[in-house]
Structure formats: structure tokens, C-alpha cells
Amino acid sequence: MTNQNAKLWDKGYGTDQEIERFTVGRDREMDMYLAEADVLGSLAHIRMLEEIGLLTAAELRTLTAELQNIHAQIRRGEFVIEEGIEDVHSQIELQLTRRLGDVGKKIHSGRSRNDQVLVDLKLFTRRQLKFVCEDVKALFEELQRQSENYRDVLMPGYTHLQVAMPSSFGLWFGAYAEALTDDLLLLQAAYKMCNRNPLGSAAGYGSSFPLHRQTTTQLLGFDSMDYNVVYAQMGRGKTERNVAFALAGVAGTLAKLAFDACLFNSQNFGFLRLPKECTTGSSIMPHKKNPDVFELIRARCNKLQALPTQITLIMNNLPSGYFRDLQIIKEVFLPAFEELRDCLRMTTYIVGRIEVNKKILDDERYDLMFSVEEVNRLAAEGMPFRDAYKKVGLDIEAGTFRPRKEVHHTHEGSIGNLCNKQIAALMDEVWGSFHFEQMETAEQNLLKPLSE
Ligand code: ARG
């Protein structure tokens, strides 16, 4: 059986239905993520086509208005990629030709679906990265707030999961806030890579039309273009992988926090508690209040950390030039943003509700974490450090060590001097060098009616 449906590349013979099913795969679902971006790319492309004389001013106006209608249709959730239509690029071109006739067929001059999907991915991803960054910032602020709330509540610090030295909830919450400042830096690098324009690379080797690539670069609010057309095409997969590394960085931070929280919530630690309405029960054990939230954050974020490897393996050893392999990356990449954002929002929600145990140190099993405090006190009084170390060690062995439970840590980043303000300044510095407004303004302008 062959299928004679509307295809951009129809040449008068059908395609075997099984081949069609297999090659289209999940594209009709995946391309829905890219629909708005596809319209924006086309709006910029046709402005450029008019500039180089491939469209008349009247054609540009008609096409622009109709593309803007389609954009609004997508925003309203009413856009569908119809049965039998391959992808979002075909669907949009089909709607244009249905409404406008032959002029709809003109928009594809000087481009290929290969550079369309490239530009769509860049536009979609930079927008999603902005959302992720906003969620990261919200979590950062919550962690800093909790760090300040509990700045004086001491807890044991561990090495090898053995009681080690005094730590505090101020340090614990604050550490994860600072981790996010580095994660944001990687997100920024990813954003910058997405902010270069591949449009004009066509199938990967440019076009004999005198395209004004600088025009589309500016119209879409990109920082610059991917200049070399072969490199522009090579960016497919590479961009996604680099972005995935940045997402995995955040996911790694969340997974670690989640594991700490599960551990500290266990009765054997009892350092923190979740309000009971934020826990889940057991079908058999009536006493259970389980921290499933953190377990699911941990698992979902661990899964997200596999993303760079998944993408790497899909594109492993592909030579330069386009390959259909790249289509499969969309299936793992496009849904990852919402997956991470859901975890980020849930972490923010639950971190704000954590209740901490203010009396952890009353339990004498933690007494030995003050051993270094005692050594340092003796050393400060003049005893050589090694002798003080030995004396305290012998006292511990003899069972005569009695801890003094007050701590005096004053250097930067320690219990008594959290430097939360300096950490907030680090965050502000990264945040301040994003310039999302360039993207916002460009996209808004493309959606305004064309002036006469
Ligand atoms: N669905 C394709 C993808 O995601 C779009 C590009 C199709 N190009 C082609 N040469 N077959 O890669």
C-alpha cells in the first residue's frame, strides 16, 4: 500500500505506508513542541526574502498576517499536525497554501527543513532555558531564605558517613544555593550556544540565493550566526548535548539534595521532618510517613543525568552533514525541560516546608564531633597541634572526653560566617549577564502586524 498524501517532497509517486509510519515515527507529537518556534523562524525568513526581492511587499504582508494567525492558533492550543502530514514544517506550509494559494509555496525558497528544524530547536531551547533559569533562581532564593532561618541550628557534618565535625542547617541549605550559582553558569553557556542563528544553512551547504543572514539573525534576536553552513548543520545534536549537560548539572544538584533530605528525614537521623501532609503512607504499615517526594525527585533527576549520554550515543560517530538519526534526539531532549522544571518547582515547594530539629546535639552520640574544636582550643592556648591532637585522642579512648558544645567558626563560608550575601551577589552576576530581553523584544516584534 502506498500513501499519496500532501508531502513537501512529493514527486508523483506514493510512499510505502509501513516506511511512512516508521520514518515519521513520533515526529507529529514531537514537532508540536517546536510549532511556535517554526512560525517565528518563517516570519523572519520571509521578511528577508522580501528584502532580497524573492517576495513582493504585498506577498510579505499576506504571508505575515497568516503566519501570525497560525501562531495565535498554536497559543490557543488549537493547532494540530494532521493525520498523514509528516511534520510541523509541512503542516504550516500546507495551512498557508490552503488559505493563500500559491504564495504559500514561496516561503521555502532558500531553506530546507534541515535548517528549519535547526532554527526551531535553537528558538525553542533558548526559551525553555529561560524558564529553567527562572525556576533555578526561585529555588536559590528559597534555599537562601532557609539558610538564614536556620543559620544557628547545628547538626553533625559527616565524612564516610561517620560523624565528623559540626555543621549547621545554615551551611546545608546555603551549600545547595551556592551549587545553583555554578549550575546557572553552565545554563548560561548553553543559552549562548543556542543564541546563534543557523538559518540560511539550508540543507547544510547554503543556497545560491543571496540570503541576508544578518537580517534573520537580528530579526530573531540572536547574538550572532553560526557562520559556516557546514558547522551550522553540525550543531544539530551538539547543541542538544551541550544543553543536556547544563540540565544535568541542575539535576545533579537536586538529586544530591534529595538524597540528603531522605537520609536526614529517617528516624535514625531525625534531623529534619516533612509536614505530614507532604508525606505518603503505606498500605500495610500504619505508622509510615514516607518522603516519596524526595525519592521521586532523586530518580527523575538521576534519569535526567543520563540525557547527555543518550544524546551522545544517538549521534555517536555520525560524519558531518544531515542524517535522519538526529530526529530521534527530539524524543529524549524536548520533554526534558518540563521534567526538570517540575522537579525544580517541587523542590522549591518542599524545601520551604522542611521543619528542622533544633535539638540534634542533645544526643550524646554526636559528642565526638567537637573533638577538633577541643584540639584547636588547646592549640590556640599554646599547645603544639600534634600534642593537642594526641591528648584529645587519648581522652576519647579513655572515655574522659567532655565536649564544649559552643563553636567559634569565623572565616568566610563557615558556620559563623555563611557569606550568603556574597553568594547572592554571585547569583546576581550570572543572572545579570543573560540579556533575555533581546530574545523577548525580537520575538514580540515579529508578532506585531507589519506596518504599511
Ligand atoms: N523530521 C526531520 C528531523 O527532525 C526534519 C528534517 C527532515 N529532513 C530530511 N532531510 N529528511 O530531522
What number is the average pLDDT over the span 337-354?
Answer: 97
- pLDDT tens, 14-45? 778 899 999 999 999 999 999 999 999 999 99
Question: Does 113 sit in the ligand 1 pocket, CB within 6 Å?
Answer: yes
Give yes or no for a contact between 356 and 169, defined as CB atoms under 8 angstroms apart. yes
Sign of the C-alpha dihedral computed for residues 390, 391, 392 and 394 taken in this order: positive
Question: Does 27 sit in the ligand 1 pocket, CB within 6 Å?
Answer: yes
| Same domain membership, residue 73 and residue 118 | no
What number is the average pLDDT over the span 286-314?
Answer: 94
Task: Choose the residue to mutate in 10, 113, 115, 120 for probing ligand 1, maximizing ligand atoms within 8 Å of C-beta.
Answer: 113
In angstroms, rounded to a whole number, what is the distance separating the alpha carbons of residues 274 and 292? Answer: 11
Give yes or no for a contact between 27 and 35, defined as CB atoms under 8 angstroms apart. no
Question: Does 106 sit in the ligand 1 pocket, CB within 6 Å?
Answer: no
269 in any annotated domain: yes
pLDDT computed for residue 15 by the predictor: 78
| Same domain membership, residue 92 and residue 241 | no
Instruction: Find the 113 Cα to ligand 1 centroid distance in Å.
Output: 6
Q: What is the CATH number of the domain that holds 198?
A: 1.20.200.10
What number is the average pLDDT over the span 373-381?
Answer: 91
What number is the average pLDDT over the span 46-64?
Answer: 97
Pairing of strands 224-225, 196-197: parallel
The model's confidence at residue 59, banded by pLDDT at 50, 70 and 90, is: very high
Q: Residue with the nearest Cα to atom 4 of ligand 1?
A: 327
| Same domain membership, residue 343 and residue 321 | yes
| Same domain membership, residue 378 and residue 236 | no
Q: Residue with the nearest Cα to atom 11 of ligand 1?
A: 324
pLDDT computed for residue 5 by the predictor: 58
Percent of the residues in the chain that have a pLDDT greater than 90, as a whole number: 88
Segment among 73-82, 269-278, 297-306 with least mean pLDDT? 269-278
436 in any annotated domain: no
| Same domain membership, residue 276 and residue 223 | yes
Question: Does 322 sit in the ligand 1 pocket, CB within 6 Å?
Answer: yes
| Same domain membership, residue 276 and residue 251 | yes
Mean of per-residue pLDDT scores for the chain:
95
Question: Does 265 sit in the ligand 1 pocket, CB within 6 Å?
Answer: no
What number is the average pLDDT over the span 250-274?
Answer: 96
Over 80: is that where the pLDDT of 4 sits?
no
pLDDT computed for residue 10 by the predictor: 80
309, 332, 361: which is the final residue of a domain? Answer: 361
| Same domain membership, residue 317 and residue 372 | no
| Same domain membership, residue 72 and residue 93 | yes
Segment among 48-52, 164-168, 248-252, 290-294 with least mean pLDDT? 290-294
Segment among 139-148, 273-282, 364-373, 415-424 with least mean pLDDT? 273-282
Instruction: Find the 192 Cα to ligand 1 centroid distance in Å.
Output: 24
- Closest ligand 1 atom to 89 CA: 5
pLDDT computed for residue 145 by the predictor: 98
In angstroms, rounded to a whole number, what is the distance separating the alpha carbons of residues 307 and 256? Answer: 17
Over 60: is that where the pLDDT of 267 sits?
yes
In angstroms, rounded to a whole number, what is the distance separating the alpha carbons of residues 126 and 236? Answer: 14
The model's confidence at residue 9, banded by pLDDT at 50, 70 and 90, is: confident
Which residue range forms the structural domain that includes residue 203?
A: 114-361
pLDDT computed for residue 277 by the predictor: 82
| Contacts for 281-286: CB closer than 8 Å, 24+ residues apart | none
- Nearest residue to 136 (alpha-carbon basis) of 247, 260, 298: 247
Q: Residue with the nearest Cα to atom 1 of ligand 1?
A: 327
| Domains: count for the chain | 3
55, 89, 109: which is the final residue of a domain? Answer: 109
In angstroms, rounded to a whole number, what is the distance separating the alpha carbons of residues 288 and 298? Answer: 20
pLDDT computed for residue 327 by the predictor: 98
What number is the average pLDDT over the span 116-131?
Answer: 98
pLDDT computed for residue 2 by the predictor: 57
Question: Does 111 sit in the ligand 1 pocket, CB within 6 Å?
Answer: no
361, 389, 416: which is the final residue of a domain? Answer: 361
| Same domain membership, residue 199 and residue 170 | yes
- From residue 52, give the alpha-carbon distance in Å to each of 49, 58, 216: 5, 14, 12
| Same domain membership, residue 146 and residue 79 | no
The model's confidence at residue 362, banded by pLDDT at 50, 70 and 90, is: very high
| Same domain membership, residue 339 and residue 200 | yes
302 in any annotated domain: yes
250 in any annotated domain: yes
pLDDT computed for residue 306 by the predictor: 98
| Same domain membership, residue 327 and residue 179 | yes
- pLDDT tens, 189-239? 999 999 999 999 999 999 999 999 999 999 999 999 999 999 999 999 999
pLDDT computed for residue 36 by the predictor: 98
Task: Choose the residue to mutate in 90, 92, 240, 327 for probing ligand 1, maximizing ligand atoms within 8 Å of C-beta.
Answer: 327
Quote the pTM value. Answer: 0.94
